[in-house]
Amino acid sequence: MSMIIEDNAKDPATYFWGPRTSTLDWCEENYAVNHYVAEFWNCVTNVMFVALASSGLHSAFKYRQAKRVIAYYAAMSFVGIGSLLFHATLKYETQLLDELPMMYLATLALYSVIEIDKRTKFGAKVPIALAAGMLGVTLIYIFWIQNPVFHQVAFALTVISTVAVSCKRESEMQLSNRTKRILRRQLYAGVLGMLGGFLVWNLDNIFCQQLRTYRTRLSSPLDVLLQLHGWWHILTAYGCMSLLLWVHFLRIARLGHDSLFTIKRRFIILPYVTIATPKKVE
């Protein structure tokens, strides 16, 4: 599941950020586009994480949503920034800035659905337990098991737990058909985005040499379409945002405010929670 591809065409000693120290190096050729950026397309595609998270943050602040909602949209933006820095430098320190915030984001979403009500049910027990778990994963990953597969499995289990608890919460509630449709759209979009991203991520790993050959034949700008790790960023950004909107709207429904809100899009591509527009009465 991990990826190391050496670039024989360039001398690592000439890299702007110096030789790679990360435990991962993806299929995009290093410093092929820009002297200052190791993996240019893998870097810039992370802007999608920041743009989507900013749309969610704007909505959360505008409608004075709970701090946990603000926290997980902010965490999503940090995921994008950390990943951008990692792909720009291919350093171990920035790799951690990419990978660990993914875990923290998933944990924040998990906390949000466990403590979905306005008043917390378990007090400090849940945040302490989740924080201890994340601290343990962090220390193990940094000092003991530095294999990226450990991080990937831990992240996947946290996301699966979040989806499972969210489904349970949804099954406990009496929801209107409209609210069910809104929630289902976000859940399906989130799952499809994450699975689609996982598919192209694996294709990028397995068929890297062939993809590099095809990119050389296509040349710029069409070769960008075969930067599959960049597509992983775009698809998982949408998948992540859709799941966060699902969790967000689920809590709105839990508080009984779902008839007042809906989910719309800015500039077609940026979904967000907003006040529902009442229908005109003829």
- Report the mean per-residue pLDDT for the chain: 92
What's the CATH number where 86 sits? 1.20.1070
Confidence band of 122 (pLDDT split at 50, 70, 90): confident
Residue 17 has a pLDDT of: 92
What is the rounded average pLDDT of the residues 104-111? Answer: 96
| Secondary structure class of 228 (helix, strand, coil) | helix
Q: Tell whether 17 is in a known binding site.
A: no
Give, in order, the Cα–Cα distances in Å from 55 to each of 19, 218, 219, 269: 36, 35, 34, 10
Confidence of residue 121 (pLDDT cuts 50, 70, 90): confident
87 is in an annotated binding site: yes
**Is residue 183 included in any domain, yes or no?**
yes
Q: In this predicted structure, what is the pLDDT of residue 118?
A: 85
- State mean pLDDT over 196-203: 96
Does 9 score more than 60 pLDDT? no
Whether 97 is in a domain gets the answer yes
Q: Is residue 247 part of a domain?
A: yes
pLDDT at 244 over 70: yes
Is the residue at 177 inside a domain? yes
pLDDT at residue 22, rounded to an integer: 92
Q: Summarize the confidence of residues 23-37 as an average pLDDT.
A: 92
In the prediction, which pLDDT does 166 show? 94
- The whole-angstrom separation of Cα 62 and Cα 29 is 42
pLDDT band of 190, cuts 50, 70, 90: very high
Identify the band that residue 3 occupies on the pLDDT scale cut at 50, 70 and 90: low
Quote the CA–CA distance of 236 and 48 in Å, as a whole number: 10
Give 263's strand partners.
Answer: 273
Q: What is the mean pLDDT of the segment spanning 211-218?
A: 93
In a domain, 78, yes or no: yes
The answer as to whether 215 is a domain residue is yes
pLDDT, residue 146, reads 86
| pLDDT (mean) for 21-29 | 92
What is the pLDDT averaged over residues 111-117? 93
Range 82-108 average pLDDT? 96
**Is 232 known to sit in a ligand binding site?**
no
CA 197 – CA 153 distance, rounded (Å): 16
Q: Cis omega before residue 221 (within 30°)? A: yes
Helix (H, G, I), strand (E, B) or coil at 36: coil
Which residue range forms the structural domain that includes residue 220? 12-275
Per the structure, how many domains does the chain have?
A: 1
The answer to whether residue 35 is domain-embedded is yes
pLDDT for 281 beyond 50: no
Judged by average pLDDT, the poorest of 2-6, 142-146, 258-262 is 2-6
Judge whether residue 211 has pLDDT over 60. Answer: yes
Cβ–Cβ under 8 Å, residues 266 and 272? yes
Identify whether 81 is part of a domain.
yes
Sequence-ordered alpha helix ranges (H) in 28-176 = 40-44, 47-62, 67-89, 92-114, 125-143, 148-171
pLDDT at 280 over 70: no
Does 58 show up as a binding residue in the annotation?
A: no
Q: Is 233 annotated as a binding residue?
A: yes
Residue 10 — pLDDT band, cuts 50, 70, 90? low
Q: What is the pLDDT of residue 278?
A: 56
What mean pLDDT is predicted for residues 36-65? 96
42 annotated binding-site participant: no
